[in-house]
Chains A and B, each alone.
Chain A
């Protein structure tokens, strides 16, 4: 029953929280650049505006795939906040990503295609570390179920410090922050700004934006899970610090190439993630 409450709460509240996070993100970024920045509700105005624009599609598949992206981002989060299987969450999230890539490939536009290819490379970069994170949770707590991992008496970050750091590393890719915002950037100072979303417009782009809010809340929930046993306030403070560091990184780094992105994400997954798993495995025996 509590699982159902968690899932429904995610479906209803995640867009509100995600939109507010996006608004605070834009203000913090502006302050780091000595600007005032937009109102905190700006992302909501943006999405409402996009919804009121005329529906203009290159191909109907764009709308279909954008809808599937949103749907599976919601499904992934509902499984997670409903206390379900962590592996299923990771796979649903990957499926959402695949639909977004298909949506970007569909219109056959050169910019959109570059964005889609880069998004695939990004997925290739972060997916191993996400799986290692799920596996690490299982090895430390004996369960893949989020409610069991959440209820575990000792903080996961203590037993899985490497996995936690690796997760923070790939979080930068997942949240589309520099230096790993290869496929689409929030800021207009990069060489390909709206690669992935070039051909999405109006209401379809709104679906992608809202899907990204759901994803953000889910990923921050995953960070929270690692700190949960430290108490809600400490864990929440930890999540805030992590997100602030992501915004800082976004503002101080230039974009890296896809080669460096994939190589560094895999190196981190191998050194921090896999080593941590081996340590957990042998210390148990």
Chain B
């Protein structure tokens, strides 16, 4: 296990979630799940974060915010789409202002479905993301430019 997966710092962004998944993300920090046991810290700051957790779909208003947050995170980094809306747009998919899942805007590494997504699933998704983060830190996985294009 490399150094990257020993200290994963998280940025949580609520796209257009109904707050169901957000509450489950916060539940991971509480005494019952206590993800700080694994060194996971909710930073609230893209410049400190290694993992971007996004709940809810991307819409016309927040697509620039999502791109901006992604661009501000220093490499290596991974993106986890949490909940059905983040993975595909969910029940909001057909709305006139919704673009769809997070992968319509930035590259997503791990998809965690669920409505609302369970804390156990969130933790498993983060652990899967750590595997990708390690590969990326070792140069063995695709990296992307700040705008989300695959780096040659």
Binary interface encoding of chain B residues 1-15 relative to chain A, with 1 for a CB under 8 A from any of its CBs, else 0: 001101101000000
Residue of B nearest to A109 (CB): B47
Beta-carbon contacts under 8 Å, A165-200 to B = 188, 193-194, 197-200
Q: Knowing that A193-B45, A197-B48 touch, tell me 4 more A-B residue pairs with CB under 8 angstroms.
A: A36-B34, A36-B37, A49-B7, A199-B47
Task: Enumerate chain A residues within 8 angstroms of B37, measured Cβ to Cβ.
Answer: 35-38
Whole-angstrom distance from the CB of A225 to the nearest CB of chain B? 34
Inter-chain contact total with CB atoms closer than 8 Å: 73
CB < 8 Å: which of A42, A48, A53, A188 contacts B76? A53
Residues of chain A with a CB closer than 8 A to B76's CB: 53-54
Check B39 for interface membership: any CB of A closer than 8 A.
yes
Q: How far is the CB of A53 from chain B (nearest CB, A)?
A: 5
Kindly state whether residue B137 has any CB partner on chain A within 8 Å. yes
Which of B27-41 touch A at CB < 8 Å? Answer: 30-31, 34, 36-39, 41
**Contacts of B47 on A, CB cut-off 8 Å?**
56, 198-201
CB distance from A59 to the nearest CB of B (A): 13
In the bound complex, CA of A56 to CA of B74 (Å): 6
Chain B, residues 124-145, CB within 8 Å of chain A (1/0): the string is 0000000000000100000000
| Residues B48 and A42 in contact, CB atoms below 8 Å apart | no
Closest to A56 in B: B74
| Cα–Cα, bound, A48→B137 (Å) | 13
Q: Is the interface of B mostly helix, strand, loop or mixed?
A: loop
Using CB atoms, name the residue of chain B closest to A41: B6
B44, A193: Cβ atoms under 8 Å? yes
Set A49, A200, A202: member contacting B6, Cβ < 8 A: A49
Complex Cα–Cα for A42 and B7 (A)? 7
Collect the chain B residues with CB atoms within 8 Å of residue A39's CB.
Answer: 39
Hey, which chain B residues are within 8 Å of A55, CB to CB? 74
- A34 lies within 8 A of chain B by Cβ: yes
Q: Does A33 contact B (CB under 8 A)?
A: yes
Does any Cβ of B come within 8 Å of A30's Cβ? yes
3 nearest CB pairs, A to B = A201-B47, A45-B6, A49-B7
Q: Does B19 count as interface, using CB distance less than 8 angstroms? A: no
Number of B positions contacting A (CB below 8 A): 24
Q: B43 interface residue, CB < 8 Å from A? A: yes
Sample 14 A-B pairs with CB under 8 A, ordered by A number. A35-B34, A35-B36, A38-B39, A42-B6, A46-B39, A48-B3, A48-B7, A54-B76, A188-B41, A188-B44, A194-B43, A194-B45, A201-B47, A202-B74
Residues of chain B with a CB closer than 8 A to A197's CB: 48
Q: Collect the chain B residues with CB atoms within 8 Å of residue A37's CB.
A: 34, 36-37
* Nearest neighbor of B8 in chain A, beta-carbon distance: A49
Residues of B within 8 A of A108 (CB): none
> What distance in Å separates the Cβ of B120 from its nearest Cβ neighbour in chain A?
17
Cβ of B75 under 8 Å from chain A: yes
Query: What chain B residues lie within 8 Å of A45 (beta carbons)?
Result: 3, 6-7, 39
Q: Does B67 count as interface, using CB distance less than 8 angstroms? A: no
Asked whether B16 is an interface residue with its Cβ less than 8 Å from the other chain, the reply is: no
Q: How far is the CA of A117 from the CA of B36 in the complex (A)?
A: 30
> Contact between A30 and B74 (Cβ–Cβ < 8 Å)?
no
B74: nearest chain-A partner, CB-CB: A56
Whether A104 is near chain B, meaning CB under 8 Å from some CB there, is no
Known contacts A45-B39, A52-B3, A202-B74; is A33 also within 8 Å of B31 by CB? yes
